[in-house]
């Protein structure tokens, strides 16, 4: 999701690639997560923490719930509606938050909507940790079906695969997607073939598309049916990745891959598993691998393992994308973000996120030990994110899209009710492991809100003591010695005199012939057109103020952007330009703002943020940093 400064909007979002190749890439990256759900979704429904009787009413009831869940949540909600809420091609909770905030402006609802977006983002990180763990473990556990003596090798093999997966992330999503796409095509074809082979003896299983079977399940045993929703929803884990990864491949490619490949193949496989259970109730211990004949089970384990590696890729790519959005929108400190493609937007790699995910995933695998226990932790982050997305979609339909109020209320009510029911079912899993994603989400939520609030406090304190620029110029223009060259002072605000300029005059007692106060501002759109990116105002005596605007999915390269500036008395050349940065040492205090512990956390985040010199691509031998202390 990168775009070089100066790249036209839309460039890199697949505009230059053919739709079939984009759909293949989407199948490889986006649908890995939801594509591997057959490995554990039906199994957990019957032998999980709330086991069901393996008889026709329950089999038909569960399968009908799976079909209608996939239809309502994935097809109708995400593919047909939510993915239309793109922010100039980008998706995900942060992009949706930016879209709504930009259209609404500042209203009394803005803080609440912002908190919803931040909470959804926090929950997404919990999902990004659990998905690789449960997906890879569930596939490798297939070895125990092939040979029960392999049980002791499951954890070491799973951990080795996960380490390898995170090691290859630095090569970029494009290369990974190209490699994984053909594998997933084979995988989905095998899903369909295995399903069809087991459906043929019981063709009546296709009647599960009749919603009566789901209703009958609730009439038969309301309590167990409600608890079963916590396992049924495992069939749609990864739906949020469709939206978060939209910037990688585009809405049309993802929609085609889902409607014509992923969805039908998944349902055929689920129907095949259900048909198998009708004949062999004991197969509920692992119906996915027992679909295959004995000779094909080891190859199926290998193929499923490759597919689960791909499943993990969907949320890892999404985590990188969401992190970059959070940094640019001011919810996270500057982080090192590597762009792995010179032309494709969305091809990024965030090292710290990659390694933190790996550490937590391995701890999770070692702590829970098997996919069944992990399934108890899975779902609550996914359903929580879905509920929040449904609420934000309601805001979008009422205030931004301005649907007919009755239609907007009906759509919002249905999605909130359905997602809320699944979330409520997953709440019962909190003691059995559901606490983990909530703990991760709480940590991330505190970090996001602390950074956002801390930045506002810093800006407010700086503005309180800011000196008017014109007054400063009048008092110094003729009394301070001038030296040749251009000085660029980075400022977080578009008003007043930046601390770096004040400290330069105070300590060095000189001014350059040309002084430019530069503010970099992130807009709530992914990409900006080339025109209108730079705003200029002249203040006389060689002083200029520039505002460099960019989208929240764009890479910021200040020297490259300044090459196009001509309004400041001539071109800005590298050899004659010095950049002055202000580095504040934050001192937590009892002043009104945040709790002391949050102020200390914010100060720690500031100290560990990537240097503005690296983040803004400033030449290292032309940068001067001037320090100061600031109480918050």
Report the C-alpha gap between 320 and 322 in whole angstroms.
6
Report the C-alpha gap between 35 and 30 in whole angstroms.
9
pLDDT of residue 203: 94
Tally of CA atoms within 13 A in the half-sphere of 185 that contains its CB: 12
pLDDT < 70 stretches in the chain: 1-17, 172-179, 340-347, 465, 592, 632
pLDDT of residue 209: 95
Q: What is the pTM of this model?
A: 0.80
Listed in sequence order, the residues at least 6 apart from 53 whose beta carbon sits closer than 8 Å to its beta carbon are none
> Whose CA is closest to 382, among 93, 111, 138, 64?
93
pLDDT of residue 589: 73
Contact 114, 343 (CB under 8 A): no
Sketch out the chain's domains with CATH numbers: 19-452 (1.20.1740.10), 467-631 (no CATH)
Which helix H or strand E contains 591, and what residues bound it?
none
Contact 338, 170 (CB under 8 A): yes
Cα 598 versus chain centre, distance: 24
Angle made by CA atoms 62, 66, 67, in degrees to the nearest 5: 120
3-state secondary structure 124-139: HHHHHHHHHHHHHHHH
pLDDT of residue 11: 37
Using DSSP's 3-state secondary structure scheme, residue 511 falls into strand
pLDDT tens profile 343-365: 454 567 899 999 999 999 999 99
pLDDT tens profile 591-600: 767 888 998 8
Which tokens go with 132? 């690789």
pLDDT of residue 15: 40
């Amino acid at each position: 999701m990168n775009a070089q400064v100066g790249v036209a909007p839309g460039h890199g979002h697949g505009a230059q690639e053919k739709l079939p190749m984009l759909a293949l890439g989407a199948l490889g990256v986006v649908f890995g997560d939801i594509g591997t759900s057959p490995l554990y979704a039906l199994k957990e429904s019957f032998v999980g923490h709330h086991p069901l009787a393996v008889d026709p009413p329950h089999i038909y009831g569960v399968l009908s719930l799976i079909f209608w869940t996939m239809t309502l949540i994935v097809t109708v909600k995400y593919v047909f509606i939510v993915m239309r809420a793109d922010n100039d091609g980008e998706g995900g909770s942060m992009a949706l938050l930016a879209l709504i905030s930009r259209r609404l402006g500042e209203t009394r609802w803005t803080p609440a909507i912002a908190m919803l977006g931040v909470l959804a983002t926090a929950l997404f990180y919990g999902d990004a940790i659990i998905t690789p763990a449960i997906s890879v473990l569930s596939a490798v556990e297939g070895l125990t079906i092939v040979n029960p003596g392999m049980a002791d090798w499951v954890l070491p093999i799973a951990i080795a695969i996960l380490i390898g997966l995170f090691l290859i992330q630095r090569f970029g999503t494009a290369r990974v997607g190209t490699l994984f796409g053909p594998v997933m095509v084979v995988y989905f074809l095998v899903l369909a073939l295995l399903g069809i082979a087991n459906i043929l003896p019981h063709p009546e299983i296709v009647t599960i598309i009749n919603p009566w079977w789901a209703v009958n399940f609730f009439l038969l045993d309301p309590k167990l049916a409600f608890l079963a929703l916590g396992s049924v929803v495992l069939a749609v884990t990864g739906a949020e990745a469709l939206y978060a990864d939209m910037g990688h491949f585009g809405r049309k490619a993802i929609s085609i891959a889902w409607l014509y490949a992923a969805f039908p193949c998944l349902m055929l496989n689920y129907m095949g598993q259900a048909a198998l259970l009708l004949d062999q109730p004991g197969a509920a211990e692992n119906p996915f691998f027992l679909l295959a004949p004995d000779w094909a089970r080891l190859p199926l384990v290998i193929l499923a393992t490759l597919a689960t590696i791909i499943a993990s890729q969907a949320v890892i790519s999404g985590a990188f994308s969401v992190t970059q959005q959070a940094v640019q929108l001011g919810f996270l400190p500057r982080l090192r973000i590597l762009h792995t493609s010179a032309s494709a937007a969305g091809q990024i790699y965030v090292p710290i996120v990659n390694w933190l995910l790996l550490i937590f995933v391995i701890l999770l695998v070692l702590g829970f030990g098997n996919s069944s226990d992990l399934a108890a932790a899975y779902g609550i982050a996914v359903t929580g994110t879905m509920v929040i997305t449904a609420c934000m979609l309601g805001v979008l339909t009422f205030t931004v899209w301005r649907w007919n109020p009755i239609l907007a209320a009906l759509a919002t009510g249905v999605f909130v009710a359905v997602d809320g029911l699944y979330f409520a079912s997953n709440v019962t899993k909190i003691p059995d492991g559901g606490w983990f994603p909530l703990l991760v989400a709480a940590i991330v939520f505190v970090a996001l809100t602390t950074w956002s609030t801390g930045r506002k406090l810093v800006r407010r304190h700086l503005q309180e003591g800011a000196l008017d620029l014109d007054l400063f110029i009048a008092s110094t223009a003729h009394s301070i010695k001038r030296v040749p060259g251009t000085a660029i002072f980075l400022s977080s605000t578009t008003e007043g005199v930046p601390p770096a300029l004040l400290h330069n005059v105070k300590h060095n007692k000189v001014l350059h012939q040309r002084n430019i106060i530069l503010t970099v501002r992130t807009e709530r759109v992914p990409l900006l057109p080339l025109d209108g990116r730079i705003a200029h105002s002249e203040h006389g005596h060689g002083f200029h103020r520039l505002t460099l605007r960019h989208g929240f999915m764009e890479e910021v390269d200040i020297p490259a952007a300044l090459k196009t500036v001509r309004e400041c008395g001539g071109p800005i050349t590298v050899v004659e330009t010095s950049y002055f940065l202000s580095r504040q040492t934050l001192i937590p205090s009892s002043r009104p703002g945040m709790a002391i512990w949050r102020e200390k956390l914010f100060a720690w985040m500031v100290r560990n943020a990537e240097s503005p010199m690296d983040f803004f691509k400033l030449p290292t031998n032309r940068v001067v940093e001037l320090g100061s202390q600031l109480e918050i």
